[in-house]
Chain A
Amino acid sequence: MADLAGDKAFLQFTNVKKTYDHKSLVVKDFNLDVAKGEFITLLGPSGSGKTTCLMMLAGFEDVTSGEILINGRSVTSIAPYARNIGMVFQQYALFPHMTLRENLAYPLKIRKRPKDEIRAKVDEYLSLVELLDFGNRYPGQLSGGQRQRVALARALIFAPDIVLMDEPLGALDKKLREQMQFEIKRLHEQLGFTVIYVTHDQTEALTMSDRIAVFNNGIVQQCAPPHVLYERPANLFVADFIGESNKLKGVIESVGEDSVQVRLEDGGLVSTLKANCTEVGQPTTVSIRPEKLSFNDRLGGAGNQVMARFVTRHYVGEYIRYHFETADGTELVVKNMNDSSAPQLSAKEEVALAWLPQDSQALDRPVA
């Protein structure tokens, strides 16, 4: 795992399993080491087990087997109210009968802090989320974004060791969501708490996290920093789930140290990075990001090549998407910046598409 050298894991999930019905496992075998101050995102489709992991950490669900350790101490024996973990809920969960000030003061009141200190803290955190003038309002009188900020402040005000966020921005519109992502990042950098963030939105995960754990079917498919996840996905699921990818079917022809040669179905031979397909004769999927695939003349004949027929183009604004089809019907997408390099193509025109070996990977190919 990345970036953990010399840093003893602050939060550890070890062989954590969870079942609700004693038949099927929702979380199959969850292992994760988190360093203090890290921003970790659990990313995956709904029902993949990511929220369950969060709930086990918060203490709202039992751990079926395995262990969760904070600072080396198992949390399973600690009651949810004694764990000192902050949480931001999907639907905010602000107390509707309390004003914002009362909402923020609540965790401090429970901890029996002196009144002056509570007042000062509430002021500090209200201004931190820029809601100082709204302190005497009730949550019902606020907009969605404002409530979200209060929920965030309330989860942070008692200086918890870890802050959990369960799709906290799911109910906001796109613009507000981007603003809040920035806000959360700012607070994280300013205050240095550890974050476990759950989302199914990959853009959100990529822009905010130090590391992302991609979940599917109760198993972590890959846990890595955003750029590794995007550029070196560990398997086809990750390549498909994070961003877009072009997939060419082939068979491993020969294996080198860092690269493999793949015989494509149309007969062409391409060179690509070694990933989770490493045996000669193994069926494989060559995965290439649409922005790494380009028209042949651009690379001047270097790199790999595949022939495809132009189908259609979509004008997106800052870039243009070109859709192609190979002889065997595989669909390919090329993203080209909307500049003078964007070519004009006529229908069914045959074009050579090219990419560099280091921009593609030989990933698993599910048997049809």
Chain B
Amino acid sequence: MSKIPAYYGFWHHLGSWLLKTSSWLVLLFLILPILVIIPLSFNVEPFFSFTEGMLTLQPEAFSLRWYEAIFSDTKWTLAIKNSFLIGIFATLIATVLGTCAAVGLARDDMPARRLITALLLSPMIVPLIITAAGMFFFYSDLGLAGNYLGVIIAHAALGTPFVIITVTATLTGFDYSLARAALNLGATPLRVFFDIIMPLIRPGVISGALFAFITSFDEVVVILFMAGPQQRTIPRQMFSGLREQINPSILAIATLLILVSIALLVTIELLRRRAERLRGVERID
């Protein structure tokens, strides 16, 4: 907390108090809907609201039955399997393509750099429903609708911009005399990439990959258009669960999703700090 300056009068104090209060309110407004899900997922009753027992913290009001329900229902287990399968393969494709694109776009002699960047990032900016509809019609003609390959490719396209952005960020200020030095020492351009460029941009590549994974993992619109019953992912299953069988298993799976997302975000942050530390060491001259 910052120290309150001595010259503060009544109005200063009032103003600073209002600022603090409203900041906290905004934060609560953003985070409460997410937090409230977690205790509700342990509800013993099939309701979406707090029971009297839960409010008085009686142990018998809580249970893991909805978690159990998820893991014993083949619809949910298939959805979990699908989410990871699609997420992992889409991430692999997005990471390879995004890294190559970023390295290419960082070159001085790259023609039409801005135009290409804009095109590659467009899946992030164009409303998802439009991308999804476009993909649906285009992929249907190619026989890619309603199968794993189609969904994976679609999600890879959505994840690639994140990889491009994070890798481009690590490439700004990249010392290209290192690449020249490696060439000069006898390394072919391919070796230069794997021995020199890749290790130095790895933090960007990994955090881009994690973003791509989260994108695929949370995505429902494209899945609604593209996926057949066999490719239902967790968000898609939640979507139909909300309409067909209202019970707190949705809350249980939501809690699990929140945990996965938090774990990934923490990983990204740790990587960022590590990268900064590495750069920091180099800066001491």
Q: Which A residues contact B (CB, under 8 angstroms)?
A: 58-60, 80-87, 89-91, 93-97, 106-107, 110-111, 138-141, 144, 154, 158
CA–CA, A95 and B175, complex, Å = 10
CA–CA, A82 and B188, complex, Å = 9
B184 touches A85 (CB 8 A): yes
Known: A138-B281, A140-B281, A140-B282. Contact between A89 and B180, CB under 8 A?
A: yes
Cβ of B181 within 8 Å of any chain A Cβ, yes or no, is: yes
Cβ of B185 within 8 Å of any chain A Cβ, yes or no, is: yes
CA–CA, A203 and B191, complex, Å = 39
CA–CA, A89 and B200, complex, Å = 19
**8 Å CB contact of A97 from B189, B199, B285:** B199
Cβ of B196 within 8 Å of any chain A Cβ, yes or no, is: yes
B186 touches A111 (CB 8 A): yes
Q: Which B residues contact A (CB, under 8 angstroms)?
A: 175, 177-178, 180-189, 191, 195-196, 199-200, 278, 281-282, 284-285
B184 touches A81 (CB 8 A): yes
Known: A60-B180, A96-B200, A144-B285. Contact between A107 and B186, CB under 8 A?
A: yes
CA–CA, A106 and B195, complex, Å = 10
B284 touches A80 (CB 8 A): no
CA–CA, A91 and B186, complex, Å = 19
- Chain B CB within 10 Å — which of A59, A90, A110 has the most? A110
Give every chain B residue within 8 A of A83 (Cβ-Cβ): 184
Which residue of chain B has its CB nearest to the CB of A82? B186
Known: A81-B187, A89-B177. Contact between A95 and B182, CB under 8 A?
A: yes
Shortest Cβ distance from residue A41 to the other chain B in the assembled complex, whole angstroms: 20
What are 24 sample pairs from A and B whose C-beta atoms fall under 8 A apart? Answer: A58-B180, A58-B184, A60-B183, A80-B180, A80-B183, A80-B184, A81-B188, A84-B186, A87-B181, A87-B184, A90-B177, A93-B175, A93-B177, A93-B180, A95-B178, A96-B278, A97-B199, A106-B187, A110-B191, A140-B281, A140-B284, A141-B281, A154-B185, A158-B185
Give every chain A residue within 8 A of B281 (Cβ-Cβ): 138, 140-141
B186 touches A110 (CB 8 A): yes
CA–CA, A14 and B199, complex, Å = 41
Which residue of chain A has its CB nearest to the CB of B176? A93
Give every chain B residue within 8 A of A139 (Cβ-Cβ): 282
Give every chain A residue within 8 A of B196 (Cβ-Cβ): 95
Shortest Cβ distance from residue B280 to the other chain A in the assembled complex, whole angstroms: 9
**8 Å CB contact of A81 from B177, B186, B195, B285:** B186
CA–CA, A366 and B175, complex, Å = 43
A96 touches B282 (CB 8 A): yes
Give every chain B residue within 8 A of A106 (Cβ-Cβ): 182, 185, 187, 195
Shortest Cβ distance from residue A202 to the other chain B in the assembled complex, whole angstroms: 25
Known: A60-B180, A89-B180, A95-B196. Contact between A110 and B185, CB under 8 A?
A: yes
